[in-house]
Amino acid sequence: MSDVVNLRQFKKRKAREEKEKAAAENRIRHGRTGAEKKFEREQARKAGEFLERNRLEPAAAYPAKAGDEDA
């Protein structure tokens, strides 16, 4: 004879396993590790600093344009 199986619990377990499988696929497809995010932020910061250091004229030397409320 076989074991008695509670179908409600079986369906819930199967649904949880499928949901976890889908979540794992999404993490692989869309996710990035913390190290990757940190590396990208650091690269952007370094690029911004490089551009600022190598600017031909200081930012204050540019005249305000018509429509610029911040200046």
Q: Is the pLDDT score of 57 beyond 70?
A: yes
User: Which of 26, 27, 24, 6 shows the shortest CA–CA distance to 16?
Assistant: 24
- Length of the chain, in residues: 71
Q: Is the pLDDT score of 62 beyond 70?
A: no
pLDDT band at 71 (very low <50, low <70, confident <90, very high): very low
pLDDT of residue 41: 95
End-to-end CA distance of the chain: 84
Indicate whether this model's pTM tops 0.85. no
